[in-house]
């Protein structure tokens, strides 16, 4: 065996982790892009008052990446909040309550938009009496 072949094999083994990481980075980028596309399509459906279609898109986005998991893009990425809002628009209070509560529970405090947090809190206070009866700290959500 010529010395060239072991050297090439050794170099390949040294580079293998970098190739594997690049593949993971590409997979992550594709996942984020898919989630963002679902979120964008949900926003479009919301603007056309197609709330059930919007819920479907937002749910697919939320299944891939949590609220505020995508930053530095044109649209704020908050699929759980948007699912709650779409259910609110459709008059499905129980579902709206569930998703607004999920939004407040899961959204990182340092990233949450006060307008959305306030809307979710107010909705919980005024439309979700069953949540108020559940055991939760009295300061949760400002209730």
Q: What CATH number has the domain bearing residue 128? A: 1.25.40.10
Please state whether 72 falls in left (phi above 0), alpha (psi between -120 and 50) or beta: left
Answer whether residue 56 is part of any domain. yes
**Residue range of the domain that includes 45:** 18-142
**Can you list the positions of beta strands (E) in 1-123?**
none
Answer whether residue 114 is part of any domain. yes
The confidence score (pLDDT) of residue 28 equals 95
pTM reported for the whole predicted model? 0.76
Average pLDDT of the residues in 34-63: 98
Answer whether residue 135 is part of any domain. yes
Binned at pLDDT 50, 70 and 90, residue 22 comes out as: low
Answer whether residue 1 is part of any domain. no
Q: What is the pLDDT of residues 78-97, one digit of tens each?
A: 999 999 999 999 999 999 99
């Amino acid at each position: 065996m010529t010395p060239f072949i072991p050297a090439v094999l050794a170099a390949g083994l040294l580079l293998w982790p970098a190739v594997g990481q690049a593949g993971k980075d590409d997979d992550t980028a594709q996942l984020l892009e898919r989630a963002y596309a679902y979120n964008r399509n949900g926003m479009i459906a919301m603007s056309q008052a197609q709330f059930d279609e919007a819920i479907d898109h937002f749910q697919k986005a939320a299944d891939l990446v949590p609220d505020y998991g995508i930053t530095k893009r044109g649209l704020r990425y908050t699929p759980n909040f948007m699912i709650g809002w779409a259910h609110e628009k459709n008059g499905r209070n129980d579902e709206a309550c569930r998703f607004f509560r999920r939004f407040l529970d899961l959204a990182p405090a340092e990233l949450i938009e006060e307008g959305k947090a306030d809307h979710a809190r107010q909705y919980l206070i005024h439309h979700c009496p069953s949540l108020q009866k559940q055991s939760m700290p009295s300061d949760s959500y400002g209730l």
